[in-house]
Amino acid sequence: MQHKPVVEAKIVNPLLGQLFPFPDYATSGAAGIDLRACLTAPLELLPGDSVIINSGLAIHIHNPQLAGVLLPRSGLGIRHGIVLSNLVGLIDSDYQGEIQIGVWNRGQIPYTIQPGDRICQLIFVPVVQVALKIVSEFDQTSQRHDGGLGHTGIQ
């Protein structure tokens, strides 16, 4: 059996685990944990609007070699234009607060988020911290050099 890293979790809204299921992987092969809207009433999101929704869950990763990443749910984005307001959220290993989810309606019609709706996914990824070394010039062995965005050096 593979060892799973442990991340501390704290319920900060009593709706979580009572009225709404505690966040977990939906299947044994799922990469992300669905986070739910910890709301007491439906929330209408007009086109172009964004709002922060509490997840009811606080985490403390502890391990600087791990980070949490919030990703949008593809079905909400494709069918309704509901995505994360910053497109991807990053949770550092030393953060200990409630996970708050910025949601943006980039669609053309209002969308109502219901209490307990699954609104994003939380995944954990490895982190490598680096030391930046200041140089005056880069090694020119790269084929790309400094061609800019979308430039591979191939004509």
* Residue 94 labeled ligand binder: no
Q: How far is 87 from 120, CA to CA, in rounded Å? A: 11
Encoded amino acid at 66, one letter: L
* Residue 73 labeled ligand binder: yes
* Residue 91 labeled ligand binder: yes
* Residue 68 labeled ligand binder: no
* Residue 92 labeled ligand binder: yes
* Residue 93 labeled ligand binder: no
* Residue 117 labeled ligand binder: no
Tokens read off for 136: 């005056």
Select from 57, 119, 66, 116 the least CA-distant residue to 90.
Answer: 66
Q: Rounding to the nearest 10 degrees, give the CA dihedral for residues 88, 90, 96, 97.
A: -30
Q: How far is 90 from 59, CA to CA, in rounded Å? A: 13
For the annotated binding site for substrate, the residues are: 73-75, 86, 90-92
For the annotated binding site, the residues are: 73-75, 86, 90-92
